[in-house]
């Protein structure tokens, strides 16, 4: 999936600007829990069942409302059954988010944009149809994706976030299914 060069340019400018104004503040480690509401092809594949996710992150305050957040996430979608076909999907992702706090310090409302590498695993079981037995298949793929959203830090440690995540997952045909989702979650920073 091609990623927009303008997004890379905007992130590079924001990082460079933030680095110039960086403060000597320690990185903060954190955790996040989220619900993932699938859209597009993923919604059909998992029969519109929401997924559950957990992850870890580190925040680097660059000053003047600019924050970088490397993160690791995993999302699990429960097994679904559509016309006898059973599907189970999960996603491991490693990426970095840029957070911008309009108030100039890392509290309150913020906007976020991120890039990441998603490792999808999709297990499918087809029903037995005479004279063919039931079959199982597992596909994995690694694809780049992006995210965008907003959040709010209620305190120095607790926050909430809503973001849209977009990527693609494996398929052994010419079809390139989308794996998009809205994620709503809670964050906690130590």
* H or E element that contains 31: strand 28-39
Residues 38-76: tens digit of each pLDDT: 998 889 888 899 999 999 999 999 999 999 999 999 999
Considering only the top CATH level, what class is 5-189? mainly beta
Inform me whether the pLDDT recorded for 160 exceeds 90.
Answer: yes
Angle at 74 between CA 58 and CA 71, to 5 degrees: 15
Model confidence, pTM: 0.80
Q: How do the domains of the chain map onto residue ranges?
A: 5-189
- Percent of the chain surpassing pLDDT 90: 56
Distance (Å, rounded) from C-alpha 147 to C-alpha 155?
A: 24
Q: Which two tokens stand for residue 12?
A: 């590079």
Inform me whether the pLDDT recorded for 158 exceeds 70.
Answer: yes
Contact 89, 46 (CB under 8 A): yes
For the beta carbon of residue 117, count every other beta carbon within 10 angstroms: 13
Strands 158-166 and 108-126: unpaired
Identify the DSSP state of 102. T
- Non-local CB neighbours of 17 within 8 Å, separated by 6+ positions: 64, 66
* H or E element that contains 71: strand 66-82
Residues 83-131: tens digit of each pLDDT: 788 889 999 999 999 999 999 988 899 999 999 999 999 888 888 776 7
For the beta carbon of residue 107, count every other beta carbon within 10 angstroms: 15
More confident residue, 155 or 124: 155
């Amino acid at each position: 999936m091609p990623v927009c060069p303008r997004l890379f340019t905007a992130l590079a400018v924001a990082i460079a600007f933030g680095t110039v104004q960086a403060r000597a503040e320690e990185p903060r480690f954190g955790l996040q829990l989220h619900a993932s509401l699938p859209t597009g092809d993923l919604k059909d594949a998992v029969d519109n069942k929401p997924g559950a996710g957990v992850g870890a992150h580190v925040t680097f305050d660059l000053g003047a409302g600019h924050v970088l957040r490397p993160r690791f996430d995993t999302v699990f979608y429960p097994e679904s059954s559509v016309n006898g076909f059973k599907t189970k999907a999960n996603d491991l992702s490693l990426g970095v988010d840029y957070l911008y706090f309009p108030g100039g310090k890392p509290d309150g409302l913020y906007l976020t944009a991120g890039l990441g590498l998603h490792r999808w695993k999709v297990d499918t079981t087809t029903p037995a149809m005479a004279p063919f037995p039931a079959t199982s298949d597992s596909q994995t793929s690694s694809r780049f994706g992006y995210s965008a959203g907003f959040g709010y830090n209620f305190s120095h440690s607790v926050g909430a976030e809503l973001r849209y995540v977009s990527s693609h997952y494996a398929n052994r045909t010419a079809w390139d299914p989308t794996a998009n989702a809205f994620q709503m979650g809670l964050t906690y920073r130590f």
